[in-house]
Amino acid sequence: MLETHISWVFLTEHDVWKVKKPVSLPFLDFSSEEKRRVACEAEVHLNRPWAPDAYHAVVHITLDSSGRHRFGGSGTPVDWAVHMVRLPDEDRADVRLRDGRLTAADLERVAGRVAAFHERARSDEETARFGTLEEITCDVRDNFEQGRGAACDYLGETEAAAIEAGQLGFLSDQSAFFEDRVLSGRVREGHGDLRLEHIYLDDEGGVRVLDCIEFNDRFRFLDVCSDVAFLSMDLACSGRGDLAEHFLAEYARMSNDYDLYPLVGFYESYRAYVRGMVNAILAGDADAPAPIRKRSADVARRHYLLALESLPAQSSTGRSAVPPMVLAVGGIVASGKSTIAARVGSEALAPVVGSDRTRKSLLGVGSTTSVSSAPWTDAYSAEMTEQVYEEVFRCARSVLQSQRPVVIDASFRARAHREAVRGLARDEGVPFLFIECRAPVDVCRERLSQRDQEPSVSDARAAILEDFVARWEPVDELELSEHLSLETSASLEVNVEAVRSRLTDAR
């Protein structure tokens, strides 16, 4: 049996039964059998989209004539339980992390799963209401009212007060961010409890996510940033800030949501405070076993500390491999720039903002949907290209506002675009490096031929190669310190080492 502050969970070799505790807390009410039944049914209904094969049904807990309780059975029904498949413990993300088996590739899978869920999730007037500044401020103030005593016990009054001042100050000073998120449709029906222990990754590439919040809509209707910040916070609290940054970067790329970055620190602090409060409740439960109470107290203190460290004014660069900077990666079509950009992002723990995905997003089509027509027309007209660069730079600026580095993946064929991205870096007061990818035309032509064989984010094909080469404006406007040229027909690792050397200088 496992125990949380609101549930008892019984595990056998192949099955799990989850029983709601008869508790009433400020954020939930399981005080009656009927309320527990409703909560059990909601749990099964809401979690099946996240893990369709993991949830069986809601079952009775029965009491027979001998006084024995059973899940199911023919005795008198006395309560309810959620019946689930027991997934392998070794597939659970926190176990994989503990054993050194949780990789960046695993977090990419999770990011893709979460981004896909958010893309089709409910988003309407009712969900949007919970992303307003008023509702979020109400939630934050409720947290402080409920958790202030415990926070003071674990941290002391000064540091506990600093968390309150930091979160409320951010809400007051940065209210426009929250308004923009509502208007852009980023407040949706999400998971609400996206933690490592709720994520299972199998060896066949499957991702299952369990235990979304069923007991209170206000915790499930949220800015998607709040959802992903829960997992990034959990990774950081487990000592893997690098994986947290990789997850955030991949989610931003998959969802084309770079505007989450200015809010990540706030939501990580918010989430850490809630986890501190929840663990403090269990630590103070006199009926819980002593080992559970001690472990919960240790976890509560760690989360309260993280709530302080994650505040936007204090977080930012600590988890990135390099300080805030603009790394622009360009070159002719099929020069390998997207491959290099992805590796640069991985090396720098930085999100990659790509022109190809941005163009498709502006046009409202899928990332691998072709929008090509006659060269340099329609979706690739000069006017549309200018819109793409403007949006790419806007997204990059959002990342920089969180004091993180950003990688921009675009051709940068024209000097004007290279000068514009250098101007972006100067405006934000951060270093700038343009990485020019070069390859022989024959190599590019072969790469374009291979691209025809499978779906691609890029629409560039061999028909435009010669014209693109002719239109390329040589890089002669940048300082030597701002320009790194790579021959991508060489080994990828050789080029990565050259980039790594320059990033080391940036540190």
Statement to judge: residues 186 and 251 lie in one domain? yes
Same domain, 175 and 196: yes
Residues 320, 216: Cα–Cα separation, whole Å:
35
| Same domain, yes or no: 64 and 142 | no
Q: What is the span of the domain harbouring residue 13?
A: 2-85
Instruction: Assess whether 180 and 94 both reside in one domain.
Output: yes
The answer on 436 and 462 residing in a single domain is yes
Would you give the distance in Å from CA 244 to the centre of its chain? 8
d(CA 343, CA 492): 9
DSSP state of 23: -
CA distance linking residue 219 with residue 212, whole number of Å: 10
One domain for residues 363 and 502: yes
Rounded (5°) CA angle 157-163-167 = 150
CA distance 70 to 286: 26
Q: How many domains does the chain have?
A: 3
Q: Please indicate, yes or no, whether residues 304 and 170 belong to a single structural domain of this protein.
A: yes
Q: What is the largest CA-CA distance in the chain?
A: 89
What CATH code is carried by the domain that includes residue 308? 3.90.1200
Residue pLDDT tens, the chain, 507 long? 998 889 999 999 999 999 999 999 888 999 999 999 999 999 999 999 999 999 999 999 999 989 999 999 888 999 999 999 999 999 999 999 999 999 999 999 999 999 999 999 999 999 999 999 999 999 999 999 999 999 999 999 999 999 999 999 999 999 999 999 999 999 999 999 999 999 999 999 999 999 999 999 999 999 999 999 999 999 999 999 999 999 999 999 999 999 999 999 999 999 999 999 999 988 998 888 899 899 999 999 999 999 999 998 655 556 888 999 999 999 999 999 999 999 999 999 999 999 999 999 999 999 888 887 767 788 899 999 999 999 999 999 999 999 999 999 999 999 999 999 999 999 999 999 999 999 999 999 999 988 877 888 888 778 789 999 999 999 999 999 999 999 999 999 999 999 999 988 766
Let me know whether 157 and 217 are in one domain.
yes
Domain boundary among 318, 347, 375: 318
Residues 379 and 411 in one domain: yes
User: Rounded distance, CA 246 to CA 254, Å?
Assistant: 12
CATH number of the domain within which 480 lies:
3.40.50.300
Q: Is 204 exposed, middle or buried (0-12, 13-18, 19+ CB in 10 A)?
A: exposed
Residue 476 token pair: 């002669």
Instruction: Map residue 63 onto helix, strand or coil.
Output: strand
Number of Cβ within 10 Å of residue 298's Cβ equals 12
Whole-number CA gyration radius for the chain: 25
Sole residue written with tokens 């609290």: 237
339/279 same-domain check? no
Question: Which of 85, 111, 139 is the last residue before a domain boundary?
Answer: 85
Task: Kindly write down the DSSP assignment for every residue of 125-157, as one continuous string.
Answer: HHHHHTTSHHHHHHHHHHHHHHHHHHHHHHH-H
146 shares its domain with 10: no
Domain end among 37, 64, 85:
85
User: Are 485 and 472 in a shared domain?
Assistant: yes
C-alpha of 36 from chain center = 31
